[in-house]
Amino acid sequence: MSDDAIERLHSNWSDELPRGWCEWNTVVNIDGVEALMNQMCDIPHLDALTGRVDRNLGLVVSPPKEVERYVDEHANGTIDIPPYFSDFPDGEKEPVYSVEEGHRLRSAVVEAAMRLLNGGGRYRTSEYTLYDCLNTEPEQLPCPLIRDEVGCVMVAPVISPGDD
């Protein structure tokens, strides 16, 4: 992970991030929003099998105004977040949100993003906003999960290097 990307993350968001639970590798560009893509993760309290989130999260290093532009252009509203970690659906295939077959956010991926932005323990849903970008054409886009004044994680079924 580049020092420049970490420096931009700290200046644009919070110096608490990134937490030491994931290997962050390539900086990807998701329609003008730059994010560090995760490789391997060992996020506390996620089951090793159902909690696999490799290459499904992008920790945003771009400034909040770029995320706001992305949301304005691509979001179709917001997605409700469970009020407690214990309320997230269990199982690898259970989505937190689904619009049609193949257009869904896996529960483990959304929970992992929440834990990355929150750390451990309780959270207030009022501090978080998860935007629905799954209904975009011609293909679905990652959904930003924003924690006010802390950071943003792009949540997606897949974020691949080289995707622009």
* H or E stretch at 77: none
* H or E stretch at 130: strand 128-131
**Which pTM does this prediction carry?**
0.86
Gap between the Cα atoms of 1 and 123, Å rounded: 28
User: Which 3 state secondary structure label does DSSP give 8?
Assistant: helix
pLDDT of residue 163: 41
Gap between the Cα atoms of 91 and 71, Å rounded: 29
Alpha helix (H) ranges present in the chain? 3-12, 64-74, 107-118
Residues forming a β-bridge with 78: 131
Residue range 95-121, pLDDT digits in tens: 566 555 556 777 888 888 898 899 878
Residues forming a β-bridge with 105: 97
pLDDT of residue 45: 67
